[in-house]
A and B are shown apart, each in its own frame.
Chain A
Amino acid sequence: MSEIQFTVNGETCSVSAPPVRRLLDVLREDLGLTGTKEGCGEGECGSCSVLMNGELVNSCLVPVLQAEGAAITTIEGVVRLAGTGEKLHPIQQCFLERGGAQCGICTPGMILATRHLLDNHPQPTLLQIQEGLAGNLCRCTGYMRIFDAVEQAAKPPVTDEVTG
């Protein structure tokens, strides 16, 4: 067993686990953060996507020892990144409004992949959206509503301020 420390959604966590235990299992089973889903367990489907030091990773492929000292963001904490004080991150709100979530298994990973995409490409082209989400499989939506949701999330927020 190894003693490993990292932060999850801003809170310091200490876990005692076999060092190759998957970060996914530590999040879900040891820390009770079941928002992160397991799909394939092989890094193909993106259901287990989380942000690790700001980079999108498949948590099923991260041995927990390699998360030592890292800052992890899961779907439970993504709203903190917006800093708006709202209950949902604007990306989550857009997925709701545009029907980008159906059964919900891929949704946490889609939201985090979208956050990572918009961090790197604030105004993505459709091709960049497709590439940014290519590692996240969805069996329900046919993707179109997900792309719509990402496009909406990328738009600058409309303000009440009247200009001109």
Chain B
Amino acid sequence: MRANAADYELIAPPTLSAVLDVLARDPGRYTPIAGGTELMVALGAGRLAQKHLISINHLKELRFIDATAEAVTIGSGATFTDLRRHPVISSDFPLLAKAASWTGSIANQNRGTLGGNIVNASPAADSPPALLAYNAALTLVSARGTRTLPYGDFHLGYKKTALASDELLYSIRIQRNFSGYISYIRKVGTRNAQAISKVALAGLALVSEGGAIEDIRIGAACLRETPVRCTAAEQAVVNRTVTPQTIAAARAALASEARPIDDIRSTAKYRAAVAGNLLEEFLRSLTR
């Protein structure tokens, strides 16, 4: 059943501080809406429980990408199109550029925001595995001030995050220190555009001249109730060279930490098997 638009409230205070004041006055009453590519789908289908929405789509304060020599800071309101058009994202953060390119369609990329993708907290979202691999830091803002935390500490459980009810995600910061790292990202779904992942893996690794893995970070979608870093798989291979034995150890470690589920898009068994194959493909790419 289509929802009745008249049942919903939507306000659009003109500035970030005005939005934060509203959130501070009545914490939990309003749900922020940016590009609407998630909430408007739920609304259209008549299953959006939140009746009071506050638009942040028009806030210029949230839509920026600042690059310095050390880091890039992405405003939570930057769209996937903004990410794809930014030269530093393309040159330094190929995992994020690739994830942005297969988030929805062009029309969705023009509206959907990186902040929305994070805060919506879907375990299947496209950008989180890349952001986890890059060790991103999130800055949250409220009328009380700002605080910064590692992205790895943001997701607390299924659709549960560290965001307080009076807070907005302000920005996402990634250090520019991945030169020399080998990148790997692959999404498995019915197709890249539009389709939601069955399983996805993003990996970064620094390999010594002798072939030893000096540093490795692996982010995954659809393997747990939140987007996750696969730390057991990382530990199984760090400081080792890629051999059939290390690949087997990494696959076993990944299987031990993954808790995939059966749902409309795939099965737990398929997800576990394919995640192992993606990990093996990533590790083999390090020996070339």
Contact = CB atoms under 8 A, between A and B. Distances in A.
B36 A135 contact: no
B106 A63 contact: no
A20 B105 contact: no
B40 A18 contact: no
B107 to A, nearest CB: 5
Interface in A112-132: 113, 116-117, 131-132
B8 A18 contact: yes
B111 A61 contact: yes
Contacts of A58: 107-108, 111
Contacts of B40: 20, 22, 43, 60-63
Interface stretch (B50-58, B91-99, B130-138, B163-171): B50-58
Please report whether the interface of chain B is mostly helix, strand, loop or mixed according to DSSP: mixed
B45 interface: yes
Please report whether the interface of chain A is mostly helix, strand, loop or mixed according to DSSP: mixed
Interface in B141-158: none
A57 B104 CA distance: 12
B47 to A, nearest CB: 11
A61 B37 contact: yes
A66 B37 contact: no
Contacts of B104: 43, 135
Given A22-B44, A61-B40, A61-B111, A56 B10 contact: no
A56 B110 contact: yes
Given A20-B5, A22-B44, A60-B44, A66 B36 contact: yes
Interface residues of B, number: 34
Nearest to B9: A19
B90 to A, nearest CB: 15
A63 B31 CA distance: 14
B81 interface: yes
A66 B106 contact: no
Given A21-B5, A55-B81, A61 B105 contact: no
A76 interface: no
Contact of B105 (A17, A55, A135): A135
Contacts of B81: 55
Nearest to B4: A18
A100 interface: no
Contact of A134 (B35, B43, B194): B194
A67 to B, nearest CB: 10
A113 B110 CA distance: 12
Contacts of A65: 10, 12, 55
A42 interface: yes
A46 B107 CA distance: 8
B105 A19 contact: no
Given A20-B8, A66-B57, A135-B194, A42 B110 contact: no
A135 B107 contact: yes
A63 B54 CA distance: 11
A36 interface: no
A68 interface: yes
Contacts of A21: 5
Given A41-B2, A116-B106, 20 more contacts: A2-B10, A17-B5, A19-B10, A20-B43, A22-B5, A41-B44, A42-B45, A43-B108, A57-B110, A60-B40, A61-B36, A61-B44, A62-B36, A63-B55, A65-B55, A66-B57, A117-B106, A134-B105, A134-B191, A135-B108
11 contacts: A19-B8, A19-B11, A57-B110, A61-B35, A63-B36, A63-B40, A68-B12, A116-B106, A134-B192, A134-B193, A135-B106
Interface of B: 2, 5-6, 8-12, 33, 35-37, 40-41, 43-45, 53, 55, 57-58, 81, 101, 104-108, 110-111, 191-194
Interface of A: 2, 17-22, 25, 41-44, 46, 49, 55-58, 60-63, 65-66, 68, 113, 116-117, 131-132, 134-136
